[in-house]
Amino acid sequence: MVFLIKALQLILSLSILVILHEFGHFLFARLFNTRVEKFYLFFNPGFTLFKFQKGETEYGMGWLPLGGYVKIAGMIDESMDKEQLKQPPQPWEFRAKPAWQRLLIMVGGVLVNFILALFIFWMVLFKWGESYVPVEGAQYGYSYHPVGHEMGLQDGDIVLAVDTFKVKTISDVAHFLFLEEPHAMTVKRGDSIFQLPIPEGVGQRLLSERVKQFAGFRIPFVVDSIVTGMPADIAGIQKGDSLVAVGGKQVPFFYEFVEELKKYSGETTTISFYRDEMLMSLPVRVSSAGKIGISPCSLYNYLEVKERKYGFFEAFPAGIRKGVNVLVGYVKQFRLVFTKEGMQQVGGFGTIGNLFPPSWDWLSFWTTTAFLSLILAFMNILPIPALDGGHVLFLFYEMVTRRKPSEKFMEYAQIAGMILLLALLLYANGNDIVRWLSK
């Protein structure tokens, strides 16, 4: 069921983004009286799921959900229609239009995706506002990944700043470590505040070890629910018990408790807890997966959550700032793709699908869709033949040199770009398959 929900969210999100991206090309083409022969959601090699004709344009839906396309008359694109190009240019064709009009036609899709992302962020902030836990809002501090422990962090520490970057939320710490190559962090431990040096290359290490969560909220382990028939239920642990130790070792916080429990996988150990302010202990059999069948109370019982609501017009500049910040962060992150560790993290549709939550949530759906819209805009503007950015690059060349690249060159460039994109597609989805099999 989780797979189905994520798949449906992915398909709906990509459908929205592809249709509006192609509409951007379509809009500028029609604005400059350029004929659009086809407008398709998804690709249709061999056959089409459905199609209809309206005016000069054939609208349809293909069966291969890898994108979509508009076929613009007189343009060398993925259709590789060479017959049309053998004829003299016609006034309604792309190749007959001035360079500045062709440039706007090509960037139309990217422009729409960028505007769409800002619009979604605007509407999200207006509808739901913002809520976050400030770093000081975690009264018990944070639990850190072993890489953080090696850096000198201790569970319970609060990172206040990374170099000169003030940390707003705990997720900012990993962001700065990945993207900014910092040298030191300001840490609060108990009543003291001090500087902790950051080892060189820690961001690359986090990437190579696929660290998904560098730090998490540190909360007491108070039982909220128990799975019937699981070891905790059989042993007699009850809702409201506050778990504090495993095998005699004091671990009063959730993350540390879970990690310690894993050491007794498949064995029986002693679980200590407080019930009605009385310390008790029970022998509990730990499953081979390191679990006993209990869930903690919501972490929001122990955190200070800040919320901000926006009016309709107030949310507009806030949405723009959010969209620009997300895009800048992604562009900085993109440089990691060209490292060995970064290439191993490249993913395809499986990775994209996992960005969506396991249950349908409109806030998460629209936030993720806005993020993907920015990615689609950025990736399409890269100067790679077969992408919009490749066409833009050749148009800039034409505008500077006052001469067009030959049609034969454009054909070869288009083929080379399509081969490169296909190779990247296979590699990215191959990574997904390898990761899935390794689990």
Q: For the domain that residue 269 is a member of, what is the CATH number?
A: 2.30.42.10
> Are 116 and 150 within one domain?
no
Classify the phi-psi angles of 428: left when phi > 0, otherwise alpha if psi is within -120 to 50, otherwise beta: alpha
Q: Is residue 328 part of a domain?
A: no
Q: Say yes or no to pLDDT of 347 above 70.
A: yes
The tens digit of pLDDT for each residue in 184-231 reads 999 999 889 999 998 888 877 887 777 778 888 888 999 998 888 898
> Are 164 and 116 within one domain?
no
Q: b/e string for 356-384 if b means 16 or more Cβ within 10 A?
A: beeeeeeeeebbbbbbbbbbbbbbbbeeb
Which of residues 428 and 182 earns the better pLDDT score? 182
pLDDT score of 187: 92
For residue 244, the SS3 value is strand
Q: Bridge partners of 240?
A: none
Contact call for residues 104 and 388 (beta carbons, < 8 A)? no
* Average pLDDT of the residues in 389-402: 86
Contact call for residues 226 and 312 (beta carbons, < 8 A)? no
The pair of structure tokens assigned to 395 is 């148009």
* Average pLDDT of the residues in 245-266: 90
> Which of 217, 244, 274 is the endpoint of a domain?
217
407, amino acid identity: E
Q: How many domains does the chain have?
A: 3
Q: Is residue 310 part of a domain?
A: no
> Are 63 and 99 within one domain?
yes
Residue 157 C-beta-side C-alpha neighbours within 13 Å? 23
The tens digit of pLDDT for each residue in 31-41 reads 999 999 889 88
> Which of 193, 217, 241 is the endpoint of a domain?
217
- Range list of H helices, 248-361: 254-262, 315-334, 340-345, 349-353
Q: Say yes or no to pLDDT of 307 above 80.
A: yes
Which of residues 58 and 77 earns the better pLDDT score? 58
What distance in Å separates the CA atoms of residue 64 and residue 41, rounded to the nearest whole number?
Answer: 9
Nearest 5 degrees, angle CA 246-CA 247-CA 253? Answer: 20
* Lowest-pLDDT range of 82-91, 258-267, 289-298: 82-91
> Are 28 and 53 within one domain?
yes
What distance in Å separates the CA atoms of residue 357 and residue 31, rounded to the nearest whole number?
Answer: 39
Which of residues 21 and 387 earns the better pLDDT score? 21
> Are 237 and 156 within one domain?
no
What distance in Å separates the CA atoms of residue 215 and residue 62, rounded to the nearest whole number?
Answer: 44
* Lowest-pLDDT range of 69-83, 166-180, 327-341, 359-373: 69-83
pLDDT score of 245: 93
Nearest 10 degrees: Cα torsion 15, 17, 20, 21? -120
> Are 81 and 59 within one domain?
yes
Residues 6 or more apart whose Cβ sits within 8 Å of residue 424: none
pLDDT score of 332: 80
> Which of 217, 239, 257 is the endpoint of a domain?
217
The tens digit of pLDDT for each residue in 65-83 reads 777 888 888 877 655 555 6
Q: Say yes or no to pLDDT of 248 above 60.
A: yes
Q: Say yes or no to pLDDT of 234 above 60.
A: yes
Q: Say yes or no to pLDDT of 419 above 60.
A: yes
Q: Say yes or no to pLDDT of 89 above 80.
A: no
Residue 225 CB coordination number (10 Å): 12
378, amino acid identity: F
pTM over 0.85: no
What distance in Å separates the CA atoms of residue 48 and residue 39, rounded to the nearest whole number?
Answer: 12
> Are 16 and 110 within one domain?
yes
Q: Say yes or no to pLDDT of 324 above 90.
A: yes
pLDDT score of 80: 53
Percent share of the chain, pLDDT over 70: 95
* Average pLDDT of the residues in 388-408: 84
Which of residues 358 and 162 earns the better pLDDT score? 162
Q: Say yes or no to pLDDT of 110 above 90.
A: yes
* Average pLDDT of the residues in 369-377: 94
Q: What is the band of 434 on the pLDDT scale with cuts at 50, 70, 90?
A: confident
Q: Using alpha carbons, select from 277, 276, 299, 283 the residue that is nearest to residue 221.
A: 299
232, amino acid identity: A
Q: Is residue 315 part of a domain?
A: no
Q: What is the band of 342 on the pLDDT scale with cuts at 50, 70, 90?
A: low
pLDDT score of 83: 61
pLDDT score of 439: 64
CB-based contacts of 275-281 (< 8 A; 24+ apart in sequence): 275/238, 275/240, 275/241, 275/242, 279/244, 281/245
What distance in Å separates the CA atoms of residue 355 and residue 229, rounded to the nearest whole number?
Answer: 33
For 422, the domain range is 2-125+368-438
Q: Is residue 42 part of a domain?
A: yes
What distance in Å separates the CA atoms of residue 64 and residue 349, rounded to the nearest whole number?
Answer: 13
Q: Is residue 324 part of a domain?
A: no
Q: Say yes or no to pLDDT of 101 above 60.
A: yes
Residue listed under structure tokens 């009385």 = 278
3-state helix, strand, coil in the chain (%, to 5): 50, 20, 30
Q: How far apart are the first and last CA of the chain?
A: 19
> Are 8 and 117 within one domain?
yes
Q: Is residue 201 part of a domain?
A: yes
Q: How many residues does the chain have?
A: 439
DSSP letters spanning 136-159: GGBTT-EEE-HHHHHHT--TT-EE
Q: Say yes or no to pLDDT of 341 above 70.
A: no
> Are 103 and 202 within one domain?
no
What is the average pLDDT value for the chain, to the nearest integer? 86
What distance in Å separates the CA atoms of residue 82 and residue 77, rounded to the nearest whole number?
Answer: 10
Q: For the domain that residue 206 is a member of, what is the CATH number?
A: 2.30.42
pLDDT score of 366: 95
Nearest 5 degrees, angle CA 191-CA 166-CA 369? Answer: 125
Q: Is residue 376 part of a domain?
A: yes
> Are 114 and 24 within one domain?
yes
pLDDT score of 13: 92
Q: Using alpha carbons, select from 345, 342, 371, 346 the residue that is nearest to residue 356.
A: 371
> Are 163 and 204 within one domain?
yes
* Average pLDDT of the residues in 83-110: 84
Q: What is the band of 84 on the pLDDT scale with cuts at 50, 70, 90?
A: low
Helix or strand run (H / E) with residue 130: strand 130-132
Q: Is residue 304 part of a domain?
A: no
DSSP letters spanning 344-371: HH---HHHHHTTS-SS--HHHHHHHHHH
> Are 169 and 268 within one domain?
no
Percent share of the chain, pLDDT over 90: 30
Q: Using alpha carbons, select from 210, 212, 203, 209 the residue that is nearest to residue 171.
A: 212
